Structure 1
Amino acid sequence: MSRRCELTGKGPMSGNNVSHAKNRTRRRFLPNLNEVTLESESLGRSFKLRISAAALRTVDHRGGLDAFFAKSKDEELSDGALKIKKEIAKAAVAA
C-alpha cells in the first residue's frame, strides 16, 4: 500500500535532519494518512478511503464528499477515487 493520499495525491517528501552542529542527514517526511469512511449523499453509500488529515479537513470544509469531487481535478485523484467521482457525476445527471 503506497503512502499517498487518495484524494489530494499528497505523498512522502524528503529533506534533512539538522543537528545542533549543523550535520545534515537525509530523512523522509511522511503524510499523515488515516483510513476513513466517507458518506456520499447522492449515492447513499459509504466509501473507505486512505486520505491525509488535511484532505479530511478540506472535504469537511467543502461540504462533503460530493462537493469535494465536484471541485477536484482528475489528475490528483487515485484510480479508486476517480471511479467514485464518475459514479457521483452519473447520479447527479440522472437526478
Structure 2
Amino acid sequence: MSRKCPITKKKTMFGNTRSHALNATKRKFNINLKKHKFWIKNKKKFIKLKLSTKAMRIINKKGIEKVIKNIKI
C-alpha cells in the first residue's frame, strides 16, 4: 500500500533540510498515516483503512457511509 491517503489525497512531500550554514540536504516529509477499522452499519461488517489523521476527523464529522461513497479505492 502506498503512503497516500485515499480520502484527502495527501502524499509524501519532498524538501530540504537547512543547516545553520544554509547547506541543503534532501529530505522527505511523510504524512501521518494510521491503520483504523471502521464499523459499517449497512453491511454489518468492519473495514480496514490506512488514513491520515485529517481523514479520520472528516469521517467523525460526516460519517463513514457518506465518505466511502465519495472515494474510489
Could you tell me which amino acid in structure 2 is paired with residue 24 of structure 1? A
Runs of 5+ consecutive residues of structure 1 not aligned to the other structure:
79-95
Q: Could you tell me how far 1:58 is from its partner in structure 2?
A: 0.9
Aligned counterparts, 1:1-95, within 5 A: 1-62=1-62, 64-70=63-69, 72=70, 74=71, 77-78=72-73
Aligned length: 73
Deviations 1:67-86 (A, max 9, x none): 2234x3x4xx43xxxxxxxx
What do you get for the CA RMSD once the two structures are aligned? 1.6
d(CA) in 1 for partners of 2:60 and 2:20? 40
What secondary structure is seen at the aligned counterpart in 2 of 1:49? strand
Moved over 6 A (4+): none
Could you tell me which amino acid in structure 1 is paired with residue 43 of structure 2? L
Q: Percent identity?
A: 33
d(CA) in 2 for partners of 1:21 and 1:41? 57
**Higher helix residue share:** 1
Runs of 5+ consecutive residues of structure 2 not aligned to the other structure:
none
d(CA) in 2 for partners of 1:47 and 1:7? 14
The TM-score normalised by the length of structure 2 is 0.82
**Higher strand residue share:** 2
